[in-house]
């Protein structure tokens, strides 16, 4: 087995000034379309943002993460029932997709598509970074990108040629904590602490905990990065945007 790329890949947040040729980008997107998709429906679209003025408009939707304006290409991957419903209506077929399961199908479709693109891009010398902020400000992104009804921004990738040659290490939990044989085996507190002990022992994570004036690494997640109040605020906003589905 050749798993070298898969074990050594890492997110790239800093890009060189080299642009991405349009034919190259389109061919990668076309290849990604051959990823699995629910019933062959391809319930997704992607909006390409190269224009610097458009990137400036998108930036605040992503809390001004610098990659949005420093990457040559920003790709907003959208769950899309708009095109499929238009096809149904043009084909004497009555669509029934304004519901939660259909939304889920489209979210899975677009995420598989985005991840396939990410793999293709990374295997072909490009570097990418996912922006998890996309669903936080879906309404604002929809306005900037002129998204019609039934088109929902789900994930964003910033894409470019890496500025640096060196790779960052991607630290992951021991795989035994991820795989369950036949049935799920819930861990007790001691087993969970053991599972996370290597991650907690890394210098980068110790420094990260200290920088944020926290005692444990987990507190950085609960108090700083993904606190309850923000999660609830952005949940309310996104549910409001999704009201025809839920």
Interaction with a copy of itself in 52-91: which residues (CB under 8 A)?
A: 54, 78, 82-84, 86-91
Contact status: 243 vs a copy of itself (CB under 8 A): no
Among 16, 66, 207, 227, binds a copy of itself (CB under 8 A): 227
Smallest separation (angstroms) from a copy of itself to the CB of 61 = 14
| Residue keyed to tokens 């000034």 | 17
Touching a copy of itself, residues 134-163 (CB under 8 A):
135-136, 145-148, 151, 154-155
DSSP of 87-117, one letter per residue?
Answer: HHHTTT------SHHHHHHHHHHHHHHHHHH
Q: For a copy of itself, give the closer residue by CB, 16 or 170.
A: 170
Stretch that binds a copy of itself, among 46-54, 59-67, 158-166 (CB under 8 A): 46-54
Question: Using CB under 8 A, which of the segments 35-43, 61-69, 159-167 binds a copy of itself?
Answer: 35-43
CA distance 134 to 154: 6
- 207: contact with a copy of itself by CB under 8 A: no
Binding-site size, a copy of itself (CB under 8 A): 120
DSSP 169: P
Encoded tokens for 112: 């598989």
Which residues does residue 79 pair with via DSSP β-bridges, in sequence order? Answer: 44, 152
Structure tokens, 123: 């295997």
Nearest CA to 121 among 240, 9, 238?
9
Alpha carbon 47 to its chain's center: 14
Is residue 244 part of the contact set for a copy of itself (CB under 8 A)?
no
Nearest distance from C-beta of residue 20 to a copy of itself, angstroms:
12
Residue 17 or 101: which CB sits closer to a copy of itself? 101
Binding test (CB under 8 A) with a copy of itself, winner from 168, 192, 207, 244: 192
Residues 6+ apart with CB under 8 A from 36: 112
Nearest to 85 by CA among 147, 145, 46, 41: 41
From 63-71, 159-167, 172-180, span contacting a copy of itself (CB under 8 A):
172-180
Residues 117-136 that bind a copy of itself (CB under 8 A): 118-120, 123-124, 128, 130, 132, 135-136
Cα–chain-centroid distance for residue 136? Answer: 12
């Amino acid at each position: 087995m050749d798993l070298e790329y898969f074990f050594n890949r890492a997110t790239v947040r800093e890009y060189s000034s080299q642009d991405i040729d349009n034919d190259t980008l389109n061919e990668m997107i076309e290849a990604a379309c051959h990823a699995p998709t629910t019933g062959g429906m391809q319930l997704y679209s992607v909006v390409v943002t190269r224009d610097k003025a458009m990137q400036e408009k998108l930036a605040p939707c992503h809390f001004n993460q610098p990659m949005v304006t420093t990457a040559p290409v920003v790709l907003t991957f959208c769950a899309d029932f708009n095109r499929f419903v238009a096809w149904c209506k043009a084909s004497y077929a009555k669509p029934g997709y304004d519901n939660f399961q259909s939304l889920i199908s489209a979210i899975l479709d677009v995420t598989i598509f985005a991840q396939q693109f990410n793999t293709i891009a990374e295997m072909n010398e490009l570097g990418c970074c996912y922006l998890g902020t996309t669903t936080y400000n879906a309404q604002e992104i929809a306005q900037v990108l002129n998204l019609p009804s039934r088109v929902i921004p789900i994930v964003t990738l910033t894409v470019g040629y890496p500025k640096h040659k060196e790779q960052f290490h991607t630290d992951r939990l021991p795989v035994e904590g991820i795989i369950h044989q036949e049935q799920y085996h819930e861990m007790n507190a001691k087993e969970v602490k053991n599972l996370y002990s290597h991650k907690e022992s890394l210098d980068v994570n110790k420094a990260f905990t200290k920088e944020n004036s926290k005692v444990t690494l987990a507190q950085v997640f609960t108090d700083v990065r993904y606190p309850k109040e923000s999660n609830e605020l952005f949940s309310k906003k996104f549910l409001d945007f999704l009201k025809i589905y839920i």
